[in-house]
């Protein structure tokens, strides 16, 4: 029996500033965050909610992950270089669970959510999202105080 509760909910649209790139593995997305945060700092723009990562690859990969790091913003800022500003669309049917604990154990959440999606006759129809409700300190993969919501846009099969 899984200790992860899964809920289906609607996620509202949000304006984000983002940087997308290919990194060897998810723990190595720090440079993408550095690029995004550096740009927002120069623009004097503060995020208006929890930051998130979008995982654009279909399925698990050993290396070369296509990841987009995002900060929700309300300010009107210009795009520059790899920094894009756009509206992340609303999702009517998002399967979600919350992971409490270090990133080194986050695969447990993904496994539980994936199993729930299969057992309840859904299919994934877009990139996974990790919403960092309580982010780790300086990207520390073993920070046990982190809280991350895992989200998959889904449709009934």
Q: What is the CATH number of the domain that holds 33?
A: 3.20.80.10
- Structural domain count, the chain: 1
Instruction: Tell me the C-alpha distance between 142 and 57, whole Å.
Output: 24
Buried b (16+ CB within 10 A) or exposed e, 29-64: beebbebbbebbeeeebebeebbbbbbeeeeeeeee
Classify residue 137: in a domain, yes or no: yes
Classify residue 2: in a domain, yes or no: no
Classify residue 73: in a domain, yes or no: yes
Q: Is 10 exposed, middle or buried (0-12, 13-18, 19+ CB in 10 A)?
A: exposed
**Cβ pair 117, 124 in contact under 8 A:** yes
For residue 76, the enclosing domain spans 7-156
Q: Which pLDDT band, with edges at 50, 70 and 90, does 143 fall under?
A: confident
Q: Which pLDDT band, with edges at 50, 70 and 90, does 70 fall under?
A: very high
Give 42-53 pLDDT, tens digit per residue: 999 999 999 999
Classify residue 132: in a domain, yes or no: yes
**What is the pLDDT at residue 137?**
77
DSSP 8-state assignment for residue 61: -
Which residue bears the tokens 């929700």? 72
* Whole-prediction pTM: 0.94
Classify residue 1: in a domain, yes or no: no
Phi, psi angle pair for 138, to nearest 5° = 55, 35
Name every residue whose Cβ is closer than 8 Å to that of residue 9 and which is 6 or more positions away in sequence. Answer: 94, 96
Name every residue whose Cβ is closer than 8 Å to that of residue 123 and which is 6 or more positions away in sequence. Answer: 117, 154, 155, 157
Classify residue 26: in a domain, yes or no: yes
Tokens of 1: 């029996």
Classify residue 45: in a domain, yes or no: yes
Classify residue 138: in a domain, yes or no: yes
């Amino acid at each position: 029996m899984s200790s992860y509760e899964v809920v289906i909910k609607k996620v509202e649209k949000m304006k984000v500033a983002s940087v997308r790139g290919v990194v060897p593995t998810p723990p190595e997305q720090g440079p993408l965050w550095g690029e995004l945060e550096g740009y927002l700092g120069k623009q004097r723009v503060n995020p208006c909610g929890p930051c998130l990562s979008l995982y654009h690859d279909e399925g698990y990969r050993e290396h070369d992950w296509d990841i987009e790091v995002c900060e929700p913003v309300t300010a009107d800022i210009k795009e520059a270089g790899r920094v894009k500003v756009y509206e992340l669309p609303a999702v009517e049917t998002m399967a979600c669970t919350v992971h409490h604990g270090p990133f080194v154990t986050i695969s447990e959440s993904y496994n539980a959510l994936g199993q729930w999606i299969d057992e309840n006759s859904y299919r994934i129809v877009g990139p996974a999202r990790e919403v960092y409700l309580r982010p780790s300190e300086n990207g520390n993969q073993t920070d046990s105080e982190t809280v991350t919501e895992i989200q998959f846009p889904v449709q009934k099969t």
